[in-house]
């Protein structure tokens, strides 16, 4: 335990808050999105306009993502600093990791558009076909992989080993979220395909 305490302050409140924020985001958005699919709650709030409802949810998801990132950075500042990479790799590796991670996130958003990125299919705003270009021709879930890479890069940049453990936790949370998101999204598109065949 003494060895662990030199690299991770497990009692830091900021760490606990960061872990909660990381778990909250995909959990909350999955609950909200499924409710929207079944009950159209947000769409009704916006007078029946699904697109406005989706834009509202996009703003919420983006804002809470920014808050999550802030809380993570704050948590890192309360953790022990331990050099992990020698020069020049201590700068080079985190910069490259962050750049590639952001590339995956930004190009995913570009390829999917706002409604494709921010759960528009739960609002009934479906894409005409599956996106197969970059970065989806490289990774199945480039947004989640890219986001995880950014968490790792930040931990390496600030030389906080605790951040690497948090990054592993982030990836596990994303994998769990995908077990719910993937099949449900497939079901939505499968229903549309069945409806088209019935016509």
9-30 pLDDT per residue, tens = 999 999 999 999 999 999 999 9
* Measured distance CA(165)–CA(48) in Å, rounded: 43
Whether the pLDDT of residue 5 is over 80: the answer is: no
For residues 78-89, give the mean pLDDT.
96
Alpha helices, DSSP H, located in 78-160: 89-117, 142-157
* Measured distance CA(125)–CA(114) in Å, rounded: 11
Q: Categorize the per-residue pLDDT at 141 as very low, low, confident or very high, splitting at 50, 70 and 90.
A: very high
* pLDDT for 132: 85
Give the Cβ contact number of residue 134 at 10 Å. Answer: 15
Could you tell me the sign of the dihedral formed by the alpha carbons of 90, 92, 98, 100, in that order?
negative
The distance from CA 184 to its chain's CA centroid, rounded to whole angstroms, is 17
Q: Categorize the per-residue pLDDT at 85 as very low, low, confident or very high, splitting at 50, 70 and 90.
A: very high
* pLDDT for 26: 94
Q: Categorize the per-residue pLDDT at 107 as very low, low, confident or very high, splitting at 50, 70 and 90.
A: very high
**What are the angstrom distances between the C-alpha of 41 and each of 53, 57, 122, 138?**
9, 12, 11, 36
Query: Which residues, in sequence order, are CB contacts of 164 under 8 Å at separation 6+?
Result: 84, 152, 155, 156
For residues 55-79, give the mean pLDDT.
97
* pLDDT for 2: 66
3 state DSSP class of 63:
helix
Whether the pLDDT of residue 149 is over 70: the answer is: yes
Whether the pLDDT of residue 1 is over 60: the answer is: no
* pLDDT for 199: 65
Which residue would you say has higher pLDDT here, 120 or 193?
A: 120
* pLDDT for 59: 97
| Percent residues over pLDDT 70 in the chain | 98
């Amino acid at each position: 335990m003494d060895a662990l305490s030199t690299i991770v302050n497990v009692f830091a409140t900021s760490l606990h808050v960061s872990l909660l924020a990381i778990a909250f985001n995909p959990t909350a958005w999955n609950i909200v999105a499924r409710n929207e699919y079944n009950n159209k709650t947000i769409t009704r709030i916006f007078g029946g306009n699904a697109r406005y409802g989706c834009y509202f949810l996009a703003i919420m998801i983006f804002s809470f993502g920014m808050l999550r990132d802030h809380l993570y950075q704050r948590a890192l500042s309360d953790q022990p600093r331990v050099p992990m990479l020698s020069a020049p790799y201590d700068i080079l590796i985190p910069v490259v990791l962050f750049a590639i991670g952001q590339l995956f996130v930004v190009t995913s958003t570009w390829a999917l558009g706002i409604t494709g990125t921010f759960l528009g299919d739960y609002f009934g705003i479906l894409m005409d076909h599956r996106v197969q270009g970059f970065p989806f021709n490289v990774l199945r879930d480039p947004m989640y992989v890219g986001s995880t890479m950014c968490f790792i890069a930040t931990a390496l940049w600030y030389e906080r080993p605790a951040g690497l453990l948090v990054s592993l936790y982030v990836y596990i949370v994303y994998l769990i979220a995908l077990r719910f998101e993937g099949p449900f999204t497939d079901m939505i598109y499968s229903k549309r395909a069945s409806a088209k065949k019935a016509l």
